[in-house]
Amino acid sequence: MKAALRSNNQHSLVKAFEYLKSHYKFIGILTIVLIGIYILAVVGIVLTGMSGMR
């Protein structure tokens, strides 16, 4: 992106923004997946704790 801005290259700048958009999509999906895993882990811990109390 820096090189595109320095050389005033519109095509490279558009490509850089496309890569940035893809990066943020990936990070968003990864965050959602990790939050889901954490929720499943907490539910599993709670269920394991409850079954141990019986």
State pLDDT tens for residues 6-49.
999 899 999 999 999 999 999 999 999 999 999 999 999 999 99
Instruction: Please provide the DSSP assignment of 14-51 as one string.
Output: HHHHHHHHHHHHHHHHHHHHHHHHHHHHHHHHHHHHHH
User: Three-class SS of residue 53?
Assistant: helix
Task: Quote the pLDDT of residue 3.
Answer: 87
Which residue range(s) make up the domain with 45? 2-53
* Neighbour-count burial of 49, counting CB atoms closer than 10 A to its CB (0-12 exposed, 13-18 middle, 19+ buried): exposed
Task: Quote the pLDDT of residue 4.
Answer: 85
Q: Report how many domains make up the chain.
A: 1
Question: Residue 36 and residue 42: Cα distance in Å, rounded?
Answer: 10
Predicted TM-score of the model (pTM)? 0.73
